[in-house]
Amino acid sequence: MKPASWRAKASIISGLLLPLLSGCGRGREVLELPPDPTEAVWIVASGGTAGLLESCNCVSDRRGGLPQRAEILRQMRQKRAALLLLDLGGNCPGTDLAQKAAADLGFRAMQQMAYDTVLVGMDDLMLGLPSLVSASDRSSPPFVIANLRRTWGNFGPFWETRRIVERGGLWFGITGAARSPISDLSLPFALDDPVAAITREVEALRPEVDVVVVLSDALAPDDNEELAAIPGVDLIVARREAILPPSERKTTVPLVGYDSEGKSLGRIGVEKVEGRLRFGAPQLFPVSSEGPEVAEIRLLVDEYHESALADPKYAATARGFLLSQPQEKDKENPYLGHEACIPCHTAEYQQWKATPHARAYATLVQNRVQYQSNCVVCHVTGFGRVDGFHVKLPGDPLAGVQCEACHGPGGNHTINPTKENIRLSDRALCEVCHVESQSPKFKDHFEEYWRKAVHASDAGPPVAAGRS
């Protein structure tokens, strides 16, 4: 017998479910859906959206987008009303205004999608506790985190440490923890050991529920194996990259994963047969950026873009990726822009002008994300320095990946042109921006990329191995 108070809460939730997602989606292409589970309840998981409200058009892997995710969930709910929606946090990519606003919109969108629980992960804490508290009070699904506690004031938790939800006749107990214990007396909170916190919450949930679900934002597979070994845990939900293959696991607890940046949803079916739980096979459900959308979520995303473009407060102000390089550290060596290079390097300039590097910033403008620092940093020159690129200056002469992005600030070089005061590019420098998530083919096809960018007067690709 489950507590009457929880039955009442479940009844209220059921009555409020998804007026939004019962409507028609705006279609662009037919989704290729994996086979539907046969079990009575579908558990669907997402996480690590990192403020990416829709797919970045500069990558070959065109997956992701909140409007498209909403349509997939709408279609799922048409087939199986007993849907349990869980998000593992990681919704805030940084601390500037645009990034915080994107994270807040993500919470609002998940509330409209009728998510049941959102884990407060390590990345979400970058928002700052006041912003998170405001979001949880105003426009998000219920937050949960078992190992976050106050170190000042009443010393209690900020949000629920566990939740109980009824779905399809089963009672689900949900808890979760953020990775990496933190204890800093200068902070108003501490993160306790995740395993100890989860163990405590599972012990409290086990007598009350049919299924205990643990949400984990761990980065390492072994961390999830440690959580799965806790007595009483029925299911672990974690990012796909942090789940060991079945042949390497030490536990038999089912695990379901998802791809970060909104690229896929994880899904697994569960039911109770003759008093025993039966889980189906975990599935990875891709979210196509070209797929059909829910119009209301598309409107939210479009309104966010329009407000960010119109408001100068959204100008990106994040640290540039290359500021640790020797040339960038010299504040007396200014950025000048590509026009200063043309008199001595006309042929190189003409060759550069025909490359994608020259058009890098234009792609951001085309997709209305030129105010987002996590995008801007690799599409312009000198970002993060006072004399570098500034979003708030229309027509900035340092827009695009120019000469000085690869070779460093050119102020000293124009006065005294020597090889000692200019940088020679190598693979490691390229890989600062050409990371696997943005350039998945770069590692295996480096020579091809290099030929597209290198000047005709230069030698072949550098032999530096770069980052592994």
pLDDT tens digits, 192-244: 899 999 999 999 999 999 999 999 989 899 999 999 999 999 999 999 999 99
Which of the pair, 73 or 382, is modelled with greater confidence?
A: 73
* Domain topology for 4-306: Purple Acid Phosphatase; chain A, domain 2 (3.60.21)
Angle formed by the axes of helices 221-228 and 194-205, nearest 10°: 30
Amino acid, single-letter form, for residue 276: R
Q: And the tokens for 233?
A: 């845990």
Percent of the chain's residues with pLDDT above 90? 43
8 Å CB contact between 66 and 108: no
Query: What average pLDDT score do residues 119-137 get?
Result: 80
**pLDDT band with cut points at 50, 70 and 90 for residue 46:** very high
- Residue 211 backbone dihedrals phi, psi, to 5 degrees: -130, 125
8 Å CB contact between 291 and 64: no
Which of the pair, 368 or 458, is modelled with greater confidence?
A: 368
8 Å CB contact between 46 and 265: yes
Q: And the tokens for 347?
A: 């042929």
CA distances from 138 to 111, 116, 123, 165, 188 (A): 10, 15, 20, 21, 22
Q: And the tokens for 127?
A: 């928002």
* Domain segments of the chain as ranges: 4-306, 316-423
Helical H segments across 113-154, by residue range:
129-138
| Other C-beta atoms lying within 10 Å of the C-beta of residue 229 | 13
Buried b (16+ CB within 10 A) or exposed e, 321-331: bbeeeebbeee
Q: Do domains 4-306 and 316-423 have the same CATH topology?
A: no
Global pTM? 0.78
Strands (E), 234-341: 235-237, 255-256, 264-273, 276-279, 283-286, 293-294
Pairs from 425-432 (Cβ < 8 Å, separation ≥ 24): 425/462, 426/462, 426/464, 426/466, 427/461, 427/462, 427/464, 427/465, 427/466, 428/464, 428/465, 428/466, 428/467, 429/322, 429/325, 430/466, 431/466, 431/467, 432/321, 432/322, 432/378
8 Å CB contact between 242 and 221: yes
Largest CA distance in the chain: 83
8 Å CB contact between 374 and 94: yes
Torsion of the alpha carbons at 321, 326, 328 and 329, rounded to the nearest 10: 110
Q: What is the pLDDT of residue 191?
A: 85
HEC per residue, 27-40? CCCCCCCCCCCCCC
How far does CA 117 lie from the centroid of its chain? 17
Give the span between the Cα atoms of 127 and 95, in whole angstroms: 6
Give the span between the Cα atoms of 170 and 168, in whole angstroms: 6
Q: Could you tell me which residues are beta bridge partners of residue 265?
A: 285
What is the CATH architecture of 316-423? Orthogonal Bundle (1.10)
The answer on pLDDT for 1 being more than 90 is: no
pLDDT digits (tens, 9 = 90+) for 360-374: 888 888 877 777 777
Percent of the chain's residues with pLDDT above 70? 84
Mean pLDDT of the chain: 83
State the number of CA atoms in the 13 A half-sphere of 402 facing the CB.
Answer: 26
Give the span between the Cα atoms of 163 and 117, in whole angstroms: 8
pLDDT digits (tens, 9 = 90+) for 148-184: 887 765 656 778 999 999 999 999 999 999 987 665 5
The answer on pLDDT for 323 being more than 80 is: no
